[in-house]
Amino acid sequence: MKPLLRLAVLVLAVLAWIPVPQAGATPAVRYTNPIAEKRADPHVFKHTDGYYYFTATVPEYDRIVLRRATTIQGLASAQETVIWRKHSSGEMAAHIWAPEIHFINGKWYVYFAAGRSDDIWRIRMYVLESTDPFSTSWTERGRITTPWDTFSLDASTFVHNGVRYLTWAQQEPGISTNSNLYLARTGSTPWTITGTVTRLTVPTLSWETRGYKVAEGPSVLQRNGKVFLTYSASATDANYCLGLLTASASADLLNPASWTKSANPVFTTSAATGQYGPGHNSFTVSEDGTSDVMVYHDRNYRDISGDPLNDPNRRTRVQKVYYRADGTPDFGIPVPDGATPVRLRTYGSTDRFVRHWEYRARVEANVSPLADSQFRIVTGLAGSGTVSLESTNFPGYYLRHRNNELWVERNDGSTLFRDDASFFQRAGLAASSATSFESKNFPGLYIRNSNGLLHLQSITDAQGRADATFALE
């Protein structure tokens, strides 16, 4: 082989091993929420067999269930199997909470928490093992032993730099909180830990201590040279929310100093979208493997009668994780029920998106808050095969043209508004893989980015075609 050809082959081989930066552009994901009613603490695991495996807490707290489907949306209608039931007495006989399913070294494992029949609040962590995830005779591997025999729950596991870790929530003697977060390496089996046990965080901030002083439900996301660990805080009502710890991928994860806690919650109740108490999440990936997807539960009402733990109506929901220019995740807000939103990225750019600012539609980079740049593509208000673009954080407000300018305004129910807010979704004028939007009531005029603002204009040249083309993310 000639030297230059050999060099080209080597370069291509190296490039094939370079991961696509997650901070860059990724295609839109399209799901319909909620995925499952009356299912809390959801965990979705995508296996190499092409299936998504889904388990969650059931409101009766008496069993562990499992579904699988080839798509995330398919989990909504997938048959559900009871794979294990609580004991009739003694250990593992009450409060069966927060199961997680993992595939480790050729076997399936379920981590979960449970109380005793004679002390239902004596919550501890346990593990089941099987070679068949839908077996009804899982092997009980017993309790996970930690340094303290105290309230503990929400075990989760992940691999980083070839090392498997276990992270969990526990009440530590001498610390006046309901639960803190901990991390350790797993031992010779997936249900044991070894070596140093690191306390990652204690709930002390105002948003972590509403109702109860809680840090629980840890879940790990590894992207862009960092390890992100989300956790749930406060009582399990509308105060429930997600916090975030961040460490460098090259750091010693068992050194508490490697982790930085975000000062504010990263995912909270949104009265605007009708979503309350979002939390206890897990992460999976989209069907094409390019987008991270957050799975979580919430309620669609704020006020709860009695103990929130006795309210059965937490629902499993999903939405895409976006990334800021610095590679950190931006979870946005819990989106409205129904179709998940998309972002409209300008053709040829990687960081410029359509957003509303004081109701005017414009194009910007580094949009904050994220929801200003999220729109639901719904059936057109004017019908006839059209679509309308509904604001995520202002439900009932739509992108409409007025005096050939694009605005986000409330639907007033008039025929004029319906027509002005309805568009034909076309193949992109500059790239058929992207999208352009043609006015319903002014055929031949398209939504176009012009000097950072959106207008309705005719398209006559290559620049116009590019300015009127958007990629959906």
Active site residue 237: no
Active site residue 41: yes
Nearest to 112 by CA among 46, 159, 156: 156
Nearest to 184 by CA among 199, 202, 196: 196
Please check whether residue 267 is in contact with residue 241, taking contact to mean a CB–CB distance below 8 angstroms. yes
Nearest to 64 by CA among 96, 93, 95, 108: 96
Nearest to 85 by CA among 96, 74, 101: 96
**H or E segment at 395?**
none
Q: Which of 100, 172, 216, 420 is catalytic?
A: 216
3-state SS of 204-249?
CCHHHCCCCCEEEEEEEEEECCEEEEEEEECCCCCCCEEEEEEEEC
In Å, how far are 184, 439, 440 from 383, measured between CA atoms? 56, 13, 10
- SS3 at position 373: helix
Phi, psi of 315 (to 5 degrees): -120, 150
As a whole number of angstroms, the distance between CA 165 and CA 253 comes to 9
As a whole number of angstroms, the distance between CA 17 and CA 24 comes to 17
Q: Which amino acid is at 30?
A: R
**H or E segment at 157?**
strand 152-160
Number of Cβ within 10 Å of residue 409's Cβ equals: 19
Residue with tokens 């057109």, as numbered in its chain: 380
Please check whether residue 463 is in contact with residue 451, taking contact to mean a CB–CB distance below 8 angstroms. no
Please check whether residue 315 is in contact with residue 59, taking contact to mean a CB–CB distance below 8 angstroms. no
**H or E segment at 348?**
none
What tokens appear for 359 in the block? Answer: 């109701």
Active-site amino acid positions: 41, 216
